[in-house]
Amino acid sequence: MGGKKGIKLIDENGLRHDGRKPDELRPIEMKVGVLANSDGSALVKFGRTHVLAAVYGPKEPIQKFVLLPDRAVLRVRYHMAPFSTSERKSPAPSRREIELSKVIREALEDIVLTNLFPRTSIDIFLEVLQADGGTRTTAITAASLALADAGIPMKALVGGVAVGKVDGVLVLDIDELEDGNGEADMPVAAAPDIGRITLFQLNGVLTREEIEKATTMAYNAIQKIVEMEKEVLRRKYLAEKEGDEK
């Protein structure tokens, strides 16, 4: 961490480098059912961060040793496409991607009703098509939509967003530039419908008060994100039904 000299992340009007207010989200776009071959899929864009999610299952796992006798196994693969970054990223899964896969899996395991389908596996593929900060939270949002699209029972929809600290100010939904030059990055994922936080990480230094404020900021934003998810799901099925009427 530690800011680079010469980059001004908050201007004199209190606006961020891309013109957003500190508590403003990037433009969000969501689509469900974008892939034909998967059981469920979603494409979620937070500004210039684009993540494609595909869900398969529940099904008999290909590797039988992974199955659990009392619930379904979630298998999550978070992967960044080689073309997702400004410099080519090796397509081999990196240490970071393996860890993020685990973290995202744990954020979803709490939500999916895995006890309904023991000895099966639910596979979630998350492909970062374009990375501009906040890929793990965008990935969780996409995974949640794809799971709902696949018809897999879940307690509630999950959304994610990161709060960061740049130039001493807490800012919502940070991008790559703010993440790289700011003082802290705190990704949060939650299911507001059942009042649960399923992912909470912090990179950098925040005071106790700042963490409290940042958590509230994130939680409020997640409520908005989850509302958007619901709207997208409703609209998709409504559109399908309306299409039939003609």
How many Å apart are CA 223 and CA 217, to the nearest integer?
10
Q: Does 67 bind another protein (CB under 8 A)?
A: no
Residue whose pair of structure tokens reads 């494409």 in the numeric block: 43
Among 18, 23, 29, 60, binds another protein (CB under 8 A): 60
Q: Does 155 bind another protein (CB under 8 A)?
A: yes
Q: Comparing C-alpha atoms, which of 10, 45, 42 is closest to residue 25?
A: 45
Crossing angle for the helix pair 208-245 and 135-149, to the nearest 10 degrees: 40
DSSP assignment of 110-154: TTB-GGGSTT-EEEEEEEEEE-SS-HHHHHHHHHHHHHHHTT--B
Give the binding range for another protein (CB under 8 A) out of 45-53, 135-143, 197-205, 238-246. 238-246
Closer of 85 and 120 to another protein (Cβ): 120
Q: Does 37 bind another protein (CB under 8 A)?
A: no
Q: Does 230 bind another protein (CB under 8 A)?
A: yes
CB of 152 to another protein, least distance (A): 7
Q: Does 237 bind another protein (CB under 8 A)?
A: yes
Closer of 148 and 217 to another protein (Cβ): 148
Other Cβ atoms closer than 10 A to 127:
18
Residue whose pair of structure tokens reads 């399908």 in the numeric block: 240
Which residues are near another protein by CB under 8 A?
A: 57-60, 69, 113, 116-120, 148-157, 191, 193-194, 226, 229-230, 233-234, 237-238, 241-242, 244-245
